[in-house]
Amino acid sequence: MGFFDFLTEDIAIDLGTANTLIIHNDKVVVDSPSIVARNRLSGKIIAVGNEAAMMQGKTHENIKTVRPLKDGVIADFEASEQMISMFIKEIPALKKRLFTPSLRMVICIPSGITEVEMRAVKDSAERVNGKEVYLIHEPMAAAIGIGVDIMQPKGNMIVDIGGGTTEIAVIALGGIVCDRSVKVAGDVFTNDIIYYMRTQHNLFVGERTAEKIKIQIGSATEDLETVPEEMNVQGRDLLTGKPKQVEISFREIAKALDKSILRIEDAVMETLSQTPPELAADIYNTGIYLAGGGSMLRGLDKRLSQKTDLPVYIAEDPLRSIVRGTGITLKNIEKFKPILIQ
Ligand SMILES: Nc1ncnc2c1ncn2[C@@H]1O[C@H](COP(=O)(O)OP(=O)(O)O)[C@@H](O)[C@H]1O
Ligand SMILES: [Mg+2]
């Protein structure tokens, strides 16, 4: 232990395609959309997180909003580095410090990202004073966050439905036995709704409105126990060009999302079919765990359960289970070192 170790701070980061969360001292200190707003002329970043999200869809030609990790790959390295750095600087306890402390970090990354992208995340972290930087795969962090003992010789299936990707993994003995990452998740659901409104109602709605529809009345099935009320949706009429309002029911949204949900179902079925029999037997008993914001879509758990004939459980607070798992890993770093990517 070095003399200056008291200057080291531990932080856990869930670098998600839709949301970035940071835990410091056991508390979630950052929970913000993974968005940056940049001035096109100077190239300077003018806002990140919520502030940048508010600008989305409302920008003029000199401002551009980017989601650096949109499809589970790093689309914009520079923007993602600046985003990480600005989020770290926002941590209240570090803001007050005279010097930027050196950081020990565990960062959770989408498992679809390449070696080069992993390297880039690590380099970025080191440039913001990361002295010890570890990466962890998302399904692993999700499992730990849900409370699964991943080191056991026992199979568990995790399905993490985020913004850009759905990550499906079977975990046993601290490793991923088989996995699959599909680019169908919350963002695709939102786009399905935009497309549906345009083709069925001649109504042009923006991404923010479509996301609101998804959260307020979105459903994976028409067969729901508690049915959400109809919703009034405003947008632009494609024929007249005038602003207009239509009333939408959850059944329509279930139809709009059906194809995308099918793709997730298929990916889960394929992963199950590749699972070694002993682990499949475990999963028969333990069922499937869902995490990530997309898992909150009404009826998705029920639909997956009917498709697989397995019990399906949604993590408590699914938007935070990944960062919680990353935080637990950080706190017990010696125990979890074998599963981390150095
Ligand atoms: N109640 C909800 N119902 C359906 N989808 C939701 C709900 N809340 C959040 N989402 C969706 O969850 C996604 C974000 O999930 P998250 O796990 O943060 O993703 P990521 O890990 O990729 O950043 C977004 O697409 C968002 O629209
Ligand atoms: Mg995530």
- The residues spanned by each domain of the chain are 2-34+69-141+322-339, 148-184+261-319, 186-256
Equal CATH topology for 148-184+261-319 and 186-256: no
Say whether pTM exceeds 0.85: yes
When computed from its CA atoms, the radius of gyration of the chain, rounded to whole angstroms, is 21
**How far is it, in rounded angstroms, from Cα 335 to Cα 139?**
18
Strands, E assignment, the chain:
8-15, 19-24, 27-33, 36-39, 45-48, 63-66, 102-109, 130-137, 156-161, 166-172, 175-182, 203-204, 231-237, 243-248, 288-291, 312-314
Using CA of residue 190, residue 191, residue 196, residue 198, what is the dihedral sign?
A: positive
Coil/strand/helix, residue 239: coil
CATH class of 186-256: alpha beta
Per residue in 53-64, pLDDT (tens digit) is 988 877 777 889
Evaluate: CB of 187 within 6 angstroms of ligand 1: yes
Q: How far apart are CA 219 and CA 207, in angstroms?
A: 17
2-34+69-141+322-339 folds as Nucleotidyltransferase; domain 5 (3.30.420)
Cα 239 to averaged position of ligand 1 atoms, centre (Å): 32
pLDDT at 196 over 90: yes
Instruction: Give 161 Cα–ligand 1 centroid separation in angstroms.
Output: 7
Q: What is the pLDDT of residues 80-96, one digit of tens each?
A: 999 999 999 889 888 87
- Res. 1: pLDDT tops 50: no
CA dihedral 234, 238, 239, 241 (to 10 degrees): 70
- Domain spanning 148-184+261-319: which superfamily? ATPase, nucleotide binding domain (3.30.420.40)
Residue nearest to atom 8 of ligand 1 (CA): 293
